[in-house]
Amino acid sequence: MALPLHHILAAKNTIKIRDLKGQTLLLLQDGHCLRDQALEVCSRVDVREAEDYRATSLETLRQMVVAGLGVTLLPEMAVESPFGSQRGLAIRQFANPKPSRTVGAVWRKSSTREAAIAAVCDVIESKRNS
């Protein structure tokens, strides 16, 4: 969970889904899978989707949070240094049961980039296991 540094929820060690009730949720633009996943996680409580704002990237989401426009969910890999230590941004883990998602990779058998794809998959797998 990404929060403005002085947000009331930033004082908590972990965030529960119910803590998001009434919060303004910043999301990526329509069609992005992370947008749909964030909405799914937050569908259990009454959050306000930021109607006037849609981000085109995770970096834009971070900057919108720092500006105090709302809160957002970010993948763990997106908050590792140097981004997670960005001035004005508080990152908090969810309490158990933590929301999660599954990421997969698909490519053509005839692809000439198999070694590069395997290397990317190895990085993702190592992050998942750490």
| Stretch (H or E) spanning 104 | none
Distance CA(6)–CA(115), nearest Å, equals 45
Residues 26, 67 within the same domain? yes
Same domain, 10 and 49: yes
pLDDT for 84 equals 55
**Measured distance CA(78)–CA(89) in Å, rounded:** 13
Domain extent at residue 120: 102-130
**What would the 3-class secondary structure string for 3-72 be?**
EECCCHHHHCCEECHHHHCCCEECCECCCCHHHHHHHHHHCCCCCEECCCCCECCHHHHHHHHHCCCCEE
Residue numbers in the chain where pLDDT is lower than 50: none
Number of domains in the chain: 2
Residue 119's pLDDT is what? Answer: 93
> pLDDT tens for residues 4-16?
999 999 999 999 9
